[in-house]
Chains A and B, each alone.
Chain A
Amino acid sequence: PASNLGLEDIIRKALMGNLEE
């Protein structure tokens, strides 16, 4: 992630979604 904001976005999305599905 190129910025802290980007990092938080990725984390929020990943927490809501499910990579395994």
Chain B
Amino acid sequence: AITKDQQVLMKVIVEAYNRHQIPQDMAKKLLQEQYSAEENFLLLTEMATSQVQVLVEFTKNIPGFLSLDHEDQIALLKGSAVEAMFLRSAQVLSSKKPNCHTDALEERIRKSGMSEEFMTPMFNFYKSIGKLHMMQEEQALLTAITILTPDRPYVKDQQAVERLQEPMLDVLRKLCALQHPQEPQYFAHLLGRLTELRTLNHYHAEMLTSWRVN
């Protein structure tokens, strides 16, 4: 069973996750601006910037994060920002909520000058996240777990990060067992997505380089 302390932890994370989303004005821009490759690139860059700001605000609310060494906080965010963004985008795109303008977002991504080689694994990832039908609690916890990955480059005190990540993994594991009693592999599937995210993060660096050249 999930203990009271774990319930509190989950509530804090979920509330912070829901409170910190890309501003609606930004989402509306998806429909307003023009659809040239350059315009799409600029708009996606602007959205990514906003998403990083929102991600940092969410992260500040993860219990214990602000007590970590300041440079370690930056290393964790720098190492995970791209992965956290892919997770959030996957959730937005698979939710198909009308006010998120998901079709417009998908069209802009597809016509932004990004190479097929990168786009295919990215949309495959979005699809694989969609298939999991994650609950909000699972999404929020998985994002927190991604951010609190101890082995990011330049993290000095990995043990301090592990001490924050472990309780999140424990709650998520229990939550998965409770919510998906018919799917004992569900928790393992979620963790598998984290491995996929790492691969995407790696591609992303290469993709940015080729994008810049184009």
Binding site for B on A (CB under 8 A): 1-4, 7-8, 10-12, 14-15, 18-20
Given contacts A10-B49, A12-B74, A15-B60, whether A2 and B54 have CB atoms under 8 Å apart is no
Contacting residues, chain B, for A7 (C-beta < 8 A): 52, 78, 81
Q: How many residues of B contact A (CB 8 A)?
A: 19
Contacting residues, chain A, for B77 (C-beta < 8 A): 11, 15
Bound CA–CA A11/B210 (angstroms): 24
Binding site for A on B (CB under 8 A): 20, 45, 48-49, 52-54, 56-57, 60, 70, 73-74, 77-78, 81, 205, 208, 212
Contacting residues, chain B, for A8 (C-beta < 8 A): 74, 78
Tally of contacts, chain A with chain B, CB under 8 A? 43
Bound CA–CA A1/B73 (angstroms): 18
B53 engages A10 (CB within 8 Å): yes
Taking A2-B212, A8-B74, A15-B60 as given, write out 16 further A-B residue pairs in contact, using a Cβ cutoff of 8 Å, ordered by the A residue number. A1-B81, A2-B45, A2-B208, A4-B78, A4-B205, A7-B52, A7-B81, A10-B49, A10-B52, A11-B52, A11-B74, A11-B81, A14-B57, A15-B74, A15-B77, A20-B57
Complex: chain A residue closest to B82, CB-CB: A7
Partner of A14, one of B45, B48, B56, B212: B56
Complex: chain A residue closest to B52, CB-CB: A10
Bound CA–CA A1/B208 (angstroms): 10
Contacting residues, chain B, for A18 (C-beta < 8 A): 57
> Chain B's nearest CB lies how many Å from the CB of A5?
10
Contacting residues, chain A, for B56 (C-beta < 8 A): 10-11, 14-15
Contacting residues, chain B, for A10 (C-beta < 8 A): 49, 52-53, 56
